[in-house]
Amino acid sequence: MSFPVIDVDYEQPLAAADGSQSCDTRHAWARVPPEPGPAERDALKARIRRLLRERDAVMVSHYYVHPDLQDLAEETGGLVSDSLEMARFGRDHAARTLVVSGVRFMGETAKILSPEKRILMPDLDATCSLDLGCPEEDFARFCALHPDRTVVVYANTSAAVKARADWLVTSSCALDVVRALTAQGQKILWAPDRHLGDYIRRETGADMVSWSGACIVHDEFKALELELLKQAHPAARVLVHPEAPADVIALADAVGSTSAILSAAQRMDASEFIVATDSGMLHKLRTLNPGKTFIEAPTAGNSATCKSCAHCPWMAMNGLAGLAHVLETGQGEVHVEPALGRRARLPIDRMLAFTAALRGGRPVDHLVAGIGAA
Ligand code: 13P
Ligand code: SF4
Protein backbone atom coordinates (compact mmCIF):
# COMPACT_ATOMS: atom_id res chain seq x y z
CA MET A 1 0.00 0.00 0.00
CA SER A 2 1.25 3.49 -0.80
CA PHE A 3 0.31 6.81 0.68
CA PRO A 4 -1.08 9.31 -1.88
CA VAL A 5 1.57 11.27 -3.77
CA ILE A 6 2.15 14.79 -2.49
CA ASP A 7 2.74 16.89 -5.55
CA VAL A 8 5.32 19.60 -5.00
CA ASP A 9 4.97 22.32 -7.59
CA TYR A 10 8.19 23.38 -9.30
CA GLU A 11 8.57 26.14 -11.81
CA GLN A 12 9.84 25.09 -15.20
CA PRO A 13 13.11 26.44 -16.64
CA LEU A 14 12.74 29.84 -18.26
CA ALA A 15 12.61 30.03 -22.02
CA ALA A 16 15.71 31.70 -23.51
CA ALA A 17 15.45 34.93 -25.54
CA ASP A 18 15.21 32.93 -28.77
CA GLY A 19 12.26 31.02 -27.34
CA SER A 20 14.18 27.76 -26.83
CA GLN A 21 13.72 25.88 -23.57
CA SER A 22 17.03 25.55 -21.78
CA CYS A 23 18.00 22.41 -19.90
CA ASP A 24 20.71 24.11 -17.86
CA THR A 25 20.19 24.26 -14.10
CA ARG A 26 21.51 27.81 -14.29
CA HIS A 27 18.32 28.80 -16.11
CA ALA A 28 16.05 26.91 -13.78
CA TRP A 29 14.19 28.24 -10.82
CA ALA A 30 16.71 27.80 -8.02
CA ARG A 31 18.88 30.71 -6.90
CA VAL A 32 22.08 29.44 -8.49
CA PRO A 33 25.03 31.77 -7.83
CA PRO A 34 26.87 33.20 -10.84
CA GLU A 35 30.17 31.51 -11.73
CA PRO A 36 33.03 33.79 -10.55
CA GLY A 37 35.75 34.78 -13.02
CA PRO A 38 39.28 33.34 -12.51
CA ALA A 39 40.63 36.23 -10.38
CA GLU A 40 37.53 36.41 -8.18
CA ARG A 41 37.57 32.64 -7.78
CA ASP A 42 41.19 32.64 -6.56
CA ALA A 43 40.47 35.54 -4.20
CA LEU A 44 37.40 33.78 -2.76
CA LYS A 45 39.34 30.57 -2.20
CA ALA A 46 42.16 32.44 -0.43
CA ARG A 47 39.61 34.25 1.76
CA ILE A 48 37.88 30.95 2.64
CA ARG A 49 41.20 29.26 3.54
CA ARG A 50 42.01 32.15 5.87
CA LEU A 51 38.53 32.24 7.43
CA LEU A 52 38.51 28.49 8.03
CA ARG A 53 41.70 28.87 10.08
CA GLU A 54 40.54 31.97 11.94
CA ARG A 55 37.10 30.57 12.76
CA ASP A 56 38.23 27.04 13.74
CA ALA A 57 36.03 25.71 10.95
CA VAL A 58 36.11 22.70 8.64
CA MET A 59 34.32 22.11 5.33
CA VAL A 60 32.03 19.12 4.75
CA SER A 61 30.90 18.89 1.12
CA HIS A 62 28.63 16.48 -0.76
CA TYR A 63 29.70 14.91 -4.06
CA TYR A 64 26.97 16.85 -5.90
CA VAL A 65 28.15 20.37 -5.09
CA HIS A 66 30.36 22.53 -7.32
CA PRO A 67 33.85 21.03 -7.90
CA ASP A 68 35.43 24.09 -6.25
CA LEU A 69 33.64 23.28 -2.99
CA GLN A 70 34.67 19.64 -3.21
CA ASP A 71 38.35 20.37 -3.90
CA LEU A 72 38.60 23.12 -1.31
CA ALA A 73 37.09 20.85 1.34
CA GLU A 74 39.74 18.20 0.74
CA GLU A 75 42.59 20.64 0.39
CA THR A 76 41.79 22.24 3.77
CA GLY A 77 41.43 19.01 5.76
CA GLY A 78 37.67 18.69 5.36
CA LEU A 79 35.67 15.99 3.61
CA VAL A 80 33.81 15.36 0.38
CA SER A 81 31.59 12.30 0.64
CA ASP A 82 28.11 10.79 0.65
CA SER A 83 25.52 11.85 3.21
CA LEU A 84 26.33 9.05 5.68
CA GLU A 85 30.03 9.88 5.91
CA MET A 86 29.27 13.62 6.07
CA ALA A 87 27.24 12.94 9.22
CA ARG A 88 29.95 10.77 10.80
CA PHE A 89 32.81 13.13 9.93
CA GLY A 90 30.96 16.19 11.25
CA ARG A 91 30.15 14.44 14.51
CA ASP A 92 33.73 13.27 15.07
CA HIS A 93 35.70 16.33 13.94
CA ALA A 94 37.13 18.60 16.64
CA ALA A 95 36.45 21.91 14.83
CA ARG A 96 33.94 24.21 16.54
CA THR A 97 32.31 25.19 13.23
CA LEU A 98 31.25 22.91 10.38
CA VAL A 99 30.52 24.46 6.98
CA VAL A 100 28.17 22.06 5.22
CA SER A 101 27.93 22.42 1.44
CA GLY A 102 24.96 20.37 0.40
CA VAL A 103 21.27 20.60 1.21
CA ARG A 104 19.35 21.52 4.32
CA PHE A 105 18.86 18.02 5.74
CA MET A 106 22.63 17.52 5.75
CA GLY A 107 23.12 20.70 7.80
CA GLU A 108 20.33 19.68 10.18
CA THR A 109 21.80 16.22 10.65
CA ALA A 110 25.17 17.79 11.47
CA LYS A 111 23.50 20.08 14.04
CA ILE A 112 21.52 17.22 15.60
CA LEU A 113 24.70 15.18 16.02
CA SER A 114 26.77 18.14 17.26
CA PRO A 115 24.44 20.58 19.02
CA GLU A 116 27.42 22.31 20.62
CA LYS A 117 28.97 23.17 17.23
CA ARG A 118 28.08 26.02 14.92
CA ILE A 119 26.79 24.67 11.60
CA LEU A 120 26.91 27.04 8.63
CA MET A 121 25.57 26.54 5.12
CA PRO A 122 26.27 28.72 2.06
CA ASP A 123 22.51 28.97 1.37
CA LEU A 124 19.93 27.87 3.92
CA ASP A 125 17.23 27.68 1.23
CA ALA A 126 18.95 24.71 -0.42
CA THR A 127 16.43 21.97 0.25
CA CYS A 128 15.39 18.67 -1.35
CA SER A 129 12.22 17.50 -3.11
CA LEU A 130 12.05 14.47 -0.81
CA ASP A 131 12.11 16.67 2.29
CA LEU A 132 9.55 19.10 0.79
CA GLY A 133 7.29 16.22 -0.24
CA CYS A 134 7.06 14.72 3.24
CA PRO A 135 5.57 17.27 5.66
CA GLU A 136 5.66 16.20 9.28
CA GLU A 137 1.88 16.42 9.98
CA ASP A 138 0.99 14.23 6.98
CA PHE A 139 3.76 11.83 7.84
CA ALA A 140 2.49 11.59 11.44
CA ARG A 141 -0.97 10.61 10.10
CA PHE A 142 0.63 7.96 7.89
CA CYS A 143 2.52 6.54 10.89
CA ALA A 144 -0.67 6.55 12.98
CA LEU A 145 -2.32 4.33 10.36
CA HIS A 146 0.41 1.71 10.84
CA PRO A 147 1.29 1.44 14.53
CA ASP A 148 2.46 -2.16 14.00
CA ARG A 149 5.30 -1.13 11.72
CA THR A 150 8.88 -0.08 12.42
CA VAL A 151 9.39 3.38 10.96
CA VAL A 152 12.44 3.60 8.70
CA VAL A 153 13.13 7.03 7.28
CA TYR A 154 15.58 8.19 4.63
CA ALA A 155 18.13 10.83 5.63
CA ASN A 156 16.62 13.26 3.08
CA THR A 157 13.95 14.48 5.52
CA SER A 158 13.37 17.25 8.04
CA ALA A 159 14.41 16.97 11.69
CA ALA A 160 10.71 16.73 12.58
CA VAL A 161 10.20 13.66 10.36
CA LYS A 162 13.39 12.07 11.69
CA ALA A 163 12.07 12.61 15.20
CA ARG A 164 9.16 10.27 14.35
CA ALA A 165 11.43 7.51 13.08
CA ASP A 166 12.76 4.36 14.70
CA TRP A 167 15.58 4.15 12.17
CA LEU A 168 17.32 6.55 9.88
CA VAL A 169 19.10 5.22 6.80
CA THR A 170 21.00 6.63 3.84
CA SER A 171 21.20 4.87 0.50
CA SER A 172 24.51 3.33 1.53
CA CYS A 173 23.06 1.37 4.47
CA ALA A 174 19.31 1.09 3.73
CA LEU A 175 19.51 -2.50 2.45
CA ASP A 176 21.55 -3.72 5.42
CA VAL A 177 19.27 -2.10 8.01
CA VAL A 178 16.03 -3.32 6.41
CA ARG A 179 17.47 -6.83 5.93
CA ALA A 180 18.35 -6.97 9.62
CA LEU A 181 14.90 -5.71 10.63
CA THR A 182 13.20 -8.19 8.31
CA ALA A 183 15.25 -11.04 9.76
CA GLN A 184 13.76 -10.10 13.14
CA GLY A 185 10.25 -10.41 11.66
CA GLN A 186 9.63 -6.65 11.71
CA LYS A 187 7.28 -4.98 9.23
CA ILE A 188 8.45 -1.68 7.78
CA LEU A 189 6.93 1.73 7.20
CA TRP A 190 9.20 3.50 4.71
CA ALA A 191 9.48 7.16 3.69
CA PRO A 192 9.83 9.21 1.62
CA ASP A 193 11.48 8.04 -1.67
CA ARG A 194 9.23 5.64 -3.57
CA HIS A 195 11.92 4.37 -5.93
CA LEU A 196 14.42 3.66 -3.17
CA GLY A 197 11.61 2.06 -1.15
CA ASP A 198 10.63 -0.20 -4.06
CA TYR A 199 14.26 -1.11 -4.63
CA ILE A 200 14.71 -2.04 -0.95
CA ARG A 201 11.52 -4.12 -1.05
CA ARG A 202 12.64 -5.96 -4.20
CA GLU A 203 16.11 -6.66 -2.80
CA THR A 204 15.15 -7.66 0.74
CA GLY A 205 11.61 -9.04 0.37
CA ALA A 206 10.60 -6.79 3.29
CA ASP A 207 6.96 -6.31 4.21
CA MET A 208 6.79 -2.56 3.54
CA VAL A 209 4.29 0.25 3.16
CA SER A 210 5.78 3.28 1.51
CA TRP A 211 5.43 7.02 1.22
CA SER A 212 5.40 8.16 -2.37
CA GLY A 213 7.96 10.96 -2.70
CA ALA A 214 10.62 11.30 -5.39
CA CYS A 215 13.90 13.03 -6.07
CA ILE A 216 13.43 15.47 -8.95
CA VAL A 217 16.90 14.61 -10.24
CA HIS A 218 16.84 10.80 -10.24
CA ASP A 219 13.17 10.48 -11.10
CA GLU A 220 14.04 12.04 -14.47
CA PHE A 221 16.34 9.33 -15.80
CA LYS A 222 14.78 7.56 -18.78
CA ALA A 223 15.10 3.80 -19.38
CA LEU A 224 14.30 3.89 -23.09
CA GLU A 225 16.91 6.52 -23.86
CA LEU A 226 19.38 4.73 -21.57
CA GLU A 227 18.92 1.53 -23.59
CA LEU A 228 19.69 3.46 -26.78
CA LEU A 229 22.80 4.94 -25.16
CA LYS A 230 23.90 1.46 -24.06
CA GLN A 231 23.54 0.25 -27.64
CA ALA A 232 25.79 3.09 -28.79
CA HIS A 233 28.33 2.18 -26.05
CA PRO A 234 28.09 -1.61 -25.73
CA ALA A 235 31.19 -1.93 -23.53
CA ALA A 236 30.03 0.70 -21.04
CA ARG A 237 28.97 -0.29 -17.54
CA VAL A 238 25.90 1.43 -16.07
CA LEU A 239 26.04 2.91 -12.54
CA VAL A 240 22.71 3.92 -10.99
CA HIS A 241 21.67 5.61 -7.73
CA PRO A 242 18.66 3.78 -6.22
CA GLU A 243 16.52 6.95 -6.22
CA ALA A 244 16.11 6.28 -9.98
CA PRO A 245 12.99 4.51 -11.33
CA ALA A 246 12.87 0.69 -11.37
CA ASP A 247 13.21 0.41 -15.17
CA VAL A 248 16.46 2.42 -15.00
CA ILE A 249 17.75 0.34 -12.08
CA ALA A 250 16.97 -2.79 -14.11
CA LEU A 251 19.59 -1.68 -16.66
CA ALA A 252 22.33 -1.14 -14.05
CA ASP A 253 25.56 -3.06 -13.61
CA ALA A 254 25.93 -1.51 -10.16
CA VAL A 255 23.30 0.18 -7.95
CA GLY A 256 24.19 2.17 -4.87
CA SER A 257 24.80 5.38 -2.99
CA THR A 258 27.15 8.04 -4.30
CA SER A 259 30.09 6.40 -2.52
CA ALA A 260 29.09 2.96 -3.83
CA ILE A 261 29.00 4.39 -7.37
CA LEU A 262 32.48 5.78 -6.84
CA SER A 263 33.92 2.50 -5.60
CA ALA A 264 32.16 0.52 -8.36
CA ALA A 265 33.80 2.74 -10.99
CA GLN A 266 37.21 2.17 -9.40
CA ARG A 267 36.68 -1.55 -8.95
CA MET A 268 35.06 -2.52 -12.25
CA ASP A 269 37.22 -3.63 -15.11
CA ALA A 270 35.75 -1.30 -17.76
CA SER A 271 36.96 1.88 -19.39
CA GLU A 272 33.55 3.43 -20.07
CA PHE A 273 30.67 4.11 -17.68
CA ILE A 274 27.18 5.56 -18.01
CA VAL A 275 26.23 7.32 -14.78
CA ALA A 276 22.62 7.75 -13.62
CA THR A 277 23.05 10.15 -10.74
CA ASP A 278 23.55 13.89 -10.27
CA SER A 279 26.19 15.18 -12.70
CA GLY A 280 28.08 16.77 -9.78
CA MET A 281 29.37 13.24 -9.18
CA LEU A 282 31.32 13.31 -12.45
CA HIS A 283 34.01 15.54 -10.95
CA LYS A 284 35.12 12.95 -8.39
CA LEU A 285 34.60 10.04 -10.78
CA ARG A 286 36.86 11.66 -13.38
CA THR A 287 39.50 12.83 -10.89
CA LEU A 288 39.88 9.39 -9.34
CA ASN A 289 39.71 7.48 -12.64
CA PRO A 290 41.79 9.44 -15.15
CA GLY A 291 41.91 6.62 -17.73
CA LYS A 292 38.15 6.03 -17.73
CA THR A 293 35.30 7.77 -19.55
CA PHE A 294 32.08 8.79 -17.81
CA ILE A 295 28.92 9.59 -19.73
CA GLU A 296 25.80 11.16 -18.20
CA ALA A 297 22.71 8.96 -18.38
CA PRO A 298 19.88 10.61 -20.34
CA THR A 299 17.12 12.61 -18.69
CA ALA A 300 15.75 13.91 -21.98
CA GLY A 301 13.43 12.24 -24.48
CA ASN A 302 9.72 12.24 -25.19
CA SER A 303 8.66 12.48 -21.58
CA ALA A 304 11.32 14.97 -20.43
CA THR A 305 10.11 17.66 -18.05
CA CYS A 306 13.39 19.54 -17.61
CA LYS A 307 12.89 19.76 -13.87
CA SER A 308 16.53 19.10 -13.09
CA CYS A 309 18.55 17.98 -16.12
CA ALA A 310 20.55 15.63 -13.86
CA HIS A 311 21.80 18.36 -11.59
CA CYS A 312 20.11 19.12 -8.30
CA PRO A 313 19.13 22.80 -8.38
CA TRP A 314 19.38 22.99 -4.60
CA MET A 315 22.88 21.52 -4.52
CA ALA A 316 23.73 24.09 -7.21
CA MET A 317 22.84 26.92 -4.80
CA ASN A 318 26.11 26.31 -2.92
CA GLY A 319 28.89 28.59 -4.13
CA LEU A 320 32.24 30.05 -3.07
CA ALA A 321 30.85 33.55 -2.47
CA GLY A 322 28.05 32.27 -0.23
CA LEU A 323 30.48 30.13 1.71
CA ALA A 324 32.92 33.01 2.26
CA HIS A 325 30.03 35.26 3.30
CA VAL A 326 28.66 32.91 5.97
CA LEU A 327 32.14 32.26 7.37
CA GLU A 328 32.77 36.00 7.54
CA THR A 329 29.44 37.01 9.05
CA GLY A 330 28.15 33.93 10.87
CA GLN A 331 24.94 34.18 8.86
CA GLY A 332 23.54 30.99 7.36
CA GLU A 333 23.60 29.16 10.69
CA VAL A 334 21.48 26.01 11.00
CA HIS A 335 19.31 25.79 14.10
CA VAL A 336 17.38 22.78 15.34
CA GLU A 337 15.16 23.15 18.37
CA PRO A 338 17.10 21.23 21.11
CA ALA A 339 14.27 18.91 22.29
CA LEU A 340 13.43 18.03 18.69
CA GLY A 341 17.12 17.48 17.99
CA ARG A 342 17.47 15.10 20.94
CA ARG A 343 14.53 13.01 19.67
CA ALA A 344 15.73 13.08 16.06
CA ARG A 345 19.18 11.98 17.19
CA LEU A 346 18.01 8.52 18.34
CA PRO A 347 17.44 7.02 14.85
CA ILE A 348 20.61 8.71 13.53
CA ASP A 349 22.72 7.28 16.36
CA ARG A 350 21.24 3.84 15.68
CA MET A 351 22.25 4.09 12.03
CA LEU A 352 25.78 5.20 12.93
CA ALA A 353 26.19 2.41 15.51
CA PHE A 354 24.78 -0.17 13.07
CA THR A 355 27.06 0.86 10.20
CA ALA A 356 30.12 1.10 12.48
CA ALA A 357 29.44 -2.48 13.68
CA LEU A 358 28.99 -3.73 10.13
CA ARG A 359 32.20 -2.08 9.04
CA GLY A 360 34.05 -3.56 11.98
CA GLY A 361 32.69 -7.06 11.22
CA ARG A 362 30.78 -7.12 14.53
CA PRO A 363 27.28 -8.61 15.00
CA VAL A 364 24.31 -6.28 14.45
CA ASP A 365 21.29 -8.38 15.51
CA HIS A 366 21.23 -7.04 19.06
CA LEU A 367 21.22 -3.50 17.63
CA VAL A 368 17.92 -3.99 15.81
CA ALA A 369 15.99 -5.99 18.41
CA GLY A 370 13.49 -4.28 20.71
CA ILE A 371 13.30 -1.02 18.74
CA GLY A 372 10.14 0.33 17.06
CA ALA A 373 7.19 -1.97 16.60
CA ALA A 374 9.28 -5.08 17.20
P1 13P B 1 23.91 9.82 -0.84
O2 13P B 1 23.43 9.42 0.51
O3 13P B 1 24.14 8.67 -1.75
O4 13P B 1 25.08 10.73 -0.75
O5 13P B 1 22.75 10.63 -1.57
C6 13P B 1 22.21 11.80 -1.07
C7 13P B 1 21.30 12.39 -2.06
O8 13P B 1 20.73 13.43 -1.83
C9 13P B 1 21.09 11.67 -3.30
O10 13P B 1 20.30 12.39 -4.17
FE1 SF4 C 1 17.17 15.76 -2.86
FE2 SF4 C 1 17.44 14.69 -5.22
FE3 SF4 C 1 18.70 16.96 -4.69
FE4 SF4 C 1 19.49 14.61 -3.55
S5 SF4 C 1 19.57 15.17 -5.71
S6 SF4 C 1 19.23 16.58 -2.52
S7 SF4 C 1 17.50 13.59 -3.28
S8 SF4 C 1 16.46 16.66 -4.79
> Which residue type is seen at 94?
A
Q: Judge if 196 and 275 occupy the same domain.
A: no
Answer whether residue 224 is part of any domain: yes
Are both 243 and 209 inside the same structural domain? no
Residue 304 resides in a domain? no
278 plus 342 within the same structural domain: no
Q: CA-based diameter of the chain, in Å?
A: 63
| Mean pLDDT across the chain | 90
How many domains, in total, are found in the chain?
A: 3
Establish if 17 belongs to a structural domain. no
Give yes or no: residues 320 and 354 share one domain. Answer: no
* 208-210: strand order across its sheet: 167-169, 150-154, 188-191, 208-210
Looking at all shown ligands, the one closest to residue 61's CA atom is 1
CATH of the domain at 232: 3.40.50.10800
Assess if residue 240 is contained within a domain: yes
Asked if 248 and 223 count as a contact pair (C-beta separation under 8 A), the reply is yes
Range of the domain at 162: 130-214+337-368
361 and 223 in one domain?
no
Q: Nearest bound ligand to CA 103?
A: 2
The residue with greater pLDDT, 207 or 1, is 207
Q: Is the pLDDT of residue 193 over 60?
A: yes
Q: Are residues 51 and 65 in the same domain?
A: yes
What distance in Å separates the CA atoms of residue 139 and residue 71, rounded to the nearest whole number? 38
Rounded-to-integer distance, Cα 261 and Cα 64, Å: 13
Q: Is there a single domain that holds both residue 107 and residue 169?
A: no
Does 107 share its domain with 242?
no
Residue type, 334: V
Distance 258 CA to ligand 1 centre (A): 6
Does some domain include residue 232? yes
Q: Are residues 202 and 161 in the same domain?
A: yes
| Inside any domain, residue 292 | yes
Please check whether residue 25 lies inside any domain of the structure.
no
Q: Over range 185-192, report the average pLDDT.
A: 96
Cβ of residue 257 lying under 6 Å from some atom of ligand 1 = yes
Q: For residues 152 and 199, state if they share a domain.
A: yes
Residues with CB under 6 A from ligand 2: 103, 128-130, 156, 215-217, 243, 278, 312, 314-315
Q: What percent of the chain has pLDDT over 70?
A: 89
Strand partners, 66: none
C-alpha to C-alpha distance for 367 and 352, rounded to whole angstroms: 11
Buried b (16+ CB within 10 A) or exposed e, 355-365: beebeeeeebe
What is the distance in A from the centroid of ligand 2 to the CA of 361? 31
pLDDT tens-digit map of 30-79: 677 889 999 999 999 999 999 999 999 999 999 999 999 999 999 999 99
Please list, residue by residue across 255-274, b when 16 or more beta carbons sit within 10 angstroms of its beta carbon and e when fewer do. Answer: bbbbbbbbebbeeeeeeebb
pLDDT of 304? 55
210 and 356 within one domain: yes
What band does 372 get if pLDDT is binned at 50, 70 and 90? confident
Instruction: Give the nearest ligand 2 atom to 129 CA.
Output: 8
305 located within any domain: no
The reported pLDDT for the residue numbered 370 is 76
Atom of ligand 1 at shortest range from CA of 102: 8
